Amino acid sequence: MCGIVGLHLRNPDLYPRLGELLSGMLGEMQDRGADSAGIAVYGNPTWAPAGHTCVSLLELDVDPAAAATALGAVVGAPVAAQYVDNTLVVSADVATDDLLAAARTTYPTALVAGFGNDLTVLKGVGAPRDLAASWDLASASGWQGVGHTRMATESAVTPAGAHPYAVGPEQCLVHNGSFSNHATIRRELRAQGVEFDSENDTEVGARFVAHQLAQGRDVETALKEVCATFDGFYTLVVSNRDSFAVVRDAIACKPAVIAETADWVAMASEYRALAHLPGVENARIWEPEPEVVYAWTR
């Protein structure tokens, strides 16, 4: 049992409240998974300056100023670096591939938690409310956020095993459930050159979706391929910089609820995570149908 939440803001007046609202949503899902938690935030200028590439690095113990100097020398441009709890967040006005390659070359043992324009991914082990406080999530602004609270069932409780899995540029995926055929799909993806950071079944889903998108498919088509390829029980939220999508498996036994207003679209494992959102009393609220892809674009 895990908890997933997602919030896509349509009204720019709410952008300063993204972290506050997302923090409340994540906290309400703590009793669905208190092993670890993670968030993906799009558009917070404190972590990722507007239009800049941002790379989130875990399992790394370096001085941020030294990291900025080292990475700047590789990319040939100024690099900003800061710790947000245990995540080293680096950003620069360079191409995503350039900063990502520099980070991987300079710090080959670090875990890349996420990368892309305007995206910051933070993950950690511990109670979600405590982690949200350590990130100062309530102060974050932006236009979109996704979060996950994990109850581990099949892989280690580590930052690498926490969601979101953000394995493609500006992409992330969170998952409640389990994929029963993930080992087979992992072998098939590895045969195609896809590399993995963990043994978590959710990473297989994220790598599969990223592989589909890299081949030119849109999010809706990629998620339909997930439904056709993966066995098991799942509710998924998949996002990139400009879109937000939800899908459930054919049986739809993992809980999910979507709410929509003119100001925002939100999704959570349970309604209580949505109850504090502004204007929720006037929202259209429904349970997503099995294998129907619900998607919104910024």
Quote the distance between the C-alpha of residue 84 and its chain's center.
16
**Range name among 1-15, 136-150, 154-168 with the lowest pLDDT average:** 154-168
Mean residue pLDDT across the chain: 95
pLDDT of res. 160 = 77
Does 255 have pLDDT greater than 80?
A: yes
Q: Please give the model's pTM, rounded to 2 decimal places.
A: 0.95
Does 216 have pLDDT greater than 80?
A: yes
Q: Assign 154 a pLDDT band (cuts: 50, 70, 90).
A: low
Single out the residue of 292, 238, 287 nearest to residue 259, CA to CA. 287
The arithmetic mean of pLDDT across residues 80-95, rounded, is 97
Does 188 have pLDDT greater than 90?
A: yes
Q: Which secondary-structure segment (H or E) carries 268? A: strand 264-268
- State what percent of residues in the chain have pLDDT above 90: 90
Look at 152 and 159; give whichever has higher pLDDT. 159
Q: How far is CA 117 from CA 52, 168, 173, 190, 275, in A?
A: 5, 11, 16, 27, 31
pLDDT of res. 258 = 98
Collapse the DSSP code of 234 into the 3-class scheme (helix H, G, I; strand E, B; otherwise coil) and give the result: strand
Q: Is the dihedral angle over the CA atoms 98, 104, 107, 111 positive or is it negative?
A: positive
The arithmetic mean of pLDDT across residues 222-233, rounded, is 96
Phi, psi of 171 (to 5 degrees): -110, 150
Does 164 have pLDDT greater than 90?
A: yes
Q: Could you list the beta-strand ranges (E) of 71-209.
A: 79-84, 87-92, 111-117, 119-125, 144-150, 172-179
User: How buried is 31 (Cβ within 10 angstroms: 0-12 exposed, 13-18 middle, 19+ buried)?
Assistant: middle
pLDDT of res. 155 = 66
CB atoms within 10 A of CB 255: 17
Is 2 in the active site? yes
Q: Please check whether residue 119 is in contact with residue 40, taking contact to mean a CB–CB distance below 8 angstroms.
A: yes
pLDDT of res. 218 = 93
pLDDT of res. 210 = 96
Does 132 have pLDDT greater than 80?
A: yes
pLDDT of res. 156 = 75
CB atoms within 10 A of CB 83: 15
CB atoms within 10 A of CB 77: 13
| Catalytic annotation, pick one of 2, 54, 172, 253 | 2
pLDDT of res. 161 = 80
Look at 147 and 158; give whichever has higher pLDDT. 147
pLDDT of res. 37 = 94
The model's pLDDT over 48-70, given as tens digits with 9 standing for 90+, comes to 999 899 999 999 999 999 999 99
pLDDT of res. 35 = 86
